[in-house]
Structure formats: C-alpha cells, structure tokens
Structure 1
Amino acid sequence: MAKKPKAWIHVGMPGAGDVIEPALAHHHGALVELGVASIAQTPAESFRAAVEMTRSHKDWGLKRSDVEGQWVRLVRRAQKSRSDLVFSQSLLANATPEQVALLIDALAGHQLHVVVTTGIDDEADTVARWTSAVRKPERLHVLETDGLDGQQVWKAFGKLIGFGTSSLRLDEVPHATPVFESLPDALRELERLARRNASLEVRLEELDRKRRKLKRKLGEVA
C-alpha cells in the first residue's frame, strides 16, 4: 500500500514562530527540491487562504469574492509537486472546529500533522481545537519557543518537518523580523502590521488583475 504524503499545518501563537510563514513562502522553490511543497508561495496567499477559512474577510475590509476558493486552489497547485505539503498562518489558531474541518477536507489523502508554536498567548485552547483534526495524538506537535530566537525556531520547525535549514537563511526573508518576547505589546503590534500589509497586498493584486483585464478590453476595442 502506497504511503500517504504528509500535510503539515502550523498554527502558532504570536511570537517567535511568526518567522515560519514568510520563510516557507520565500524558500518554496528550494523546499520542493527537499521534498516539501509550501502550499502558499507568498504571505498574501497564505493570508487570503486563512481569511477565507476563518470567514473573517469583513474584518479585514475584503469582499468574500476576494478570497473565495483560495484554499482549494493553493492545495491543488501544491499537490502537483507530489511532495509533502506545509502551510503556516497564525490566524488559523482561532479557527472554530467547523472551520478546521472545512480546511482539512481539502487535504483528504494526506496524513495530517499540526504544529503549534508557543508564544505570548496561551495555546491551550488552540491545541484543544486542533487535536480533533488529527487522527492520532502524536500528530499534534507543540513546539516550545521560550528562549529561542527566530533562527532557532525555524531550524526546530525544519527538523520536525524533515528538512534542513542551513541553506534556507532567514536574513534573506522579507518580514522575518526578530521577535522580542519580553515585549508582548510590541509583538501584537508587529502582528497587526504584518496582517495589514498582507491585506494590502491582496488588494493590490486585485487592482492589478482589474487593470490587466481593462487593458485587454481596450486592446480589443482598438
């Protein structure tokens, strides 16, 4: 019987684990060569997918149509690599059981693993909600980040998933800002700004799509 590919979902608390999402997106090409496909290839993609799954588009000033079908499209694209899949987005930490079930439905045929990184918020509720998503308790992994910097967290995450990070440098990754866990207010502000930037990226992509569509129409008229 063929072994199922794995799907790793990271739903960490705000904190040192925040570096994982942009690092996965930035290094997606290199990761595929290592046998792991990042479901999202940009932070805007992961943000849009998480907003769709948590039905929080209005909270971010987006329309439902801005995010509709994003998660399934990303999963299907990543599946073409025939590699293990990995996805990271802290917004999923607050997903309801119903939203969790909807998200993992697109990952049928994969052995699901969930990784929760600790941070400035208590992770107990998140662990409880996501435990039901995995068939076996050993597939729910809690990665303690207390005392670790971003590079150390990234290395530990890679070791858990099964890839080395020595050639996947964090200093090359946009938005992988060092986190100081002794300043929880600053961390929350950093997270807020990161999410706002991702929201703006989504809007810019939509405006660019409309601009290209209008250009094509004008070309047809000419």
Structure 2
Amino acid sequence: MAKKPKAWIHVGMPGAGDVIELALAHHHAALVELGVTCLAVTPAESFRAAVEMTRSHKDWGLKRGDVEGQWSRLVRRGRKSRGDVVFSQSLLASATPEQVALVVDALAGYQVHVVLTTGLDDEADATARWLAACRKPERLHLIEADGLEPAQLWKAFGKVVGFGTASLRLDDVPRASATLQTLPEALREVERLARRNASLEVRLEELDRKRRKLKKRLAA
C-alpha cells in the first residue's frame, strides 16, 4: 500500500506562534524544494481560509463570499504536489469541534498531524479538540513556546515537520521581530494589527478583481 502524504496543521499561540505562519509563506518556494508544500503562499490566503472555517467573517468586517471556498481551493492546490503539505493560522485555535472536523474532512487521503504551540488561553480544550482530528495520539505534537525566541520556535517546528531551517532565515520575514514576543499586551496588539492588515488585503484583492472585470466590459 502506498504511503499517505502528511498534512501538517499548526495551531499556534497568537503572537509568538504567528512567526510560523509568516515564515511558511515567505519561504514557500524554498520549502517545495525540501519536499513540503505550503497550502497558503501569502498570509492573506491563510487568513481567509481560517476565517472561512471558523465562520468569523463578520468579526473581521468581511462578507461570506469573500472567504467562501478558500480552504478547499488551498487543499486542491496542495494535492497537485502529491507530497506533504503544511498550513498555519492561529485563528484555528478557536475552532469548535465541528469546525475542526470540517478542516480535517477536506484533507481526506492525508495522514493528518497537528502541531500545537503551547500558551493558548484554552490550551487544554484546544488540545482535546485537535487530538480528535489526529485520530492517533502520536500525531499530535506539542512545542513549548514559553521562553523561545522566534528563530528557536521556527527551528523547533521545522524539526517536527522534517525540514531544516538553517537556510530559511527569519531576517526578511515581515513582522518576525523578537522584541515584542515577551509582552502579552504587545502580542495581542501585533496580532490585531496583522489580522486587520490581512482583512484589508482581502478587500483590496476583491476591489482589484472588480476593477479588472469592469475594464474588460468597457473594452468590449
């Protein structure tokens, strides 16, 4: 029997855990060479998918149509690689058991692994919800995030998934500064601003799509 490819889902602590999502998007091309395909190649894509699956579009000032089908589109893209895939988004920490099940259902044919960075407000509950998605306890991986610098957290994540991070530096990764990682209030503010920026990016993409459509009509 052919070995199933693995799907790695990172459910991180807002703030420190966000470095993984950002680093995956920034290094997506290099990671393909290492045998891992990022389902999202921009933070806006991962944001839309997580908002869709957690049904939180109204909380971010978005319409259902802005995010509809995003998760299935990303999964279809990942399937083309015929190898392991990875996804990270801290909003998934709030997913209900039903929403977790929907996320995993789309990954049929993959061996699903979940990586939790500790420090979540409802860590025990989140662990229980995502453990059910793994089907086997050994497929749930915990990374103790407390006291780790972003580079250390990124390295630890790569070790779990199976890729080295020596050549995948964080120097050029947006918002990957270590200076705010130990301040809970600052972390919440950084997360809020990052999500707001991602929400604005979604809106700008939609406006650009409508502009191109109108331009084609006028040209016709």
TM bucket, shorter chain? over 0.9
Q: Which amino acid aligns with 2:85?
A: L
Q: Which residue matches 1:149? A: 149
Q: Which residue matches 1:85? A: 85
Write the distance in 2 (CA, Å) between the matches of 1:16 and 1:179: 11
Bigger mean CA deviation after superposition, 10-19 or 177-186: 177-186
Offset of 1:202 from its aligned partner? 0.5
Q: Which residue matches 1:107? A: 107
* Deviation per residue, 1:58-102 (Å, 9 max, x gap): 110000000000000011011111120100000000000000111
Q: Which residue matches 1:139? A: 139
Offset of 1:119 from its aligned partner? 2.9
Q: Which residue matches 1:96? A: 96
Write the distance in 1 (CA, Å) between the matches of 2:70 and 2:91: 15
Provide the aligned length of Structure 1 versus Structure 2.
Answer: 220
* Deviation per residue, 1:138-172 (Å, 9 max, x gap): 11111001211000100110011000111111111
Q: Which amino acid aligns with 1:113?
A: H
CA RMSD of aligned residues (A): 1.1
Q: Indicate if the aligned counterparts of 2:118 and 2:146 stay in contact, CA closer than 8 A.
A: yes
Q: Indicate if the aligned counterparts of 1:15 and 1:179 stay in contact, CA closer than 8 A.
A: no
Q: Indicate if the aligned counterparts of 1:5 and 1:110 stay in contact, CA closer than 8 A.
A: yes
Offset of 1:178 from its aligned partner? 2.0
Q: Which residue matches 2:47? A: 47
Unaligned runs of 5+ in 2: none
Bigger mean CA deviation after superposition, 158-167 or 173-182: 173-182
* Deviation per residue, 1:89-122 (Å, 9 max, x gap): 0000000000011111110000000011023634
Give the 3-state SS of the residue equivalent to 1:112 in structure 2.
strand
Q: Indicate if the aligned counterparts of 2:15 and 2:190 stay in contact, CA closer than 8 A.
A: no
Write the distance in 2 (CA, Å) between the matches of 1:206 and 1:65: 10
Unaligned runs of 5+ in 1: none
* Deviation per residue, 1:192-221 (Å, 9 max, x gap): 11111110110011011111111111111x
Offset of 1:173 from its aligned partner? 1.1
1:179-218 equivalence runs, <5 A: 180-218=180-218
State, as a whole percentage, how many aligned pairs show the same letter: 78
Q: Which residue matches 2:32? A: 32
**Please, what TM-score do these two structures have when normalized by structure 1?**
0.96
**Please, what TM-score do these two structures have when normalized by structure 2?**
0.97
